[in-house]
Amino acid sequence: MGWLMMLGIAISIPVSIVGYYVAKAINRRQYHLSVEMLEQLQIAKPEGAEKKNEPAPPGALTIAGQIVVPILLIVLGTIFHSLLTAGSLLGKVMTVIGTLPIVLLIALTACFGGLGCRRSTMRASG
At 23-52, the pLDDT tens digits run: 988 887 777 777 787 777 777 666 655 566
Residue 53 has a pLDDT of 67
In our burial notation (b when 16+ CB lie closer than 10 A, e otherwise), range 24-37 reads eeeeeeeeeeeeee
- Is residue 126 classed as helix, strand or coil in its secondary structure? coil
Instruction: Provide mean pLDDT across the span 64-70.
Output: 90
What is the chain's mean pLDDT, rounded?
A: 81
Question: d(Cα 28, Cα 35) in Å, to the nearest integer?
Answer: 22
pTM greater than the 0.75 cutoff: no
For residue 2, the Cα-to-chain-centroid distance in whole angstroms is: 25
- Going by the DSSP 8-state scheme, the letter that residue 98 receives in this structure is T
Question: d(Cα 61, Cα 58) in Å, to the nearest integer?
Answer: 8
In the chain, the amino acid numbered 82 is S
Specify whether the CB–CB gap between 77 and 94 falls below 8 A.
yes
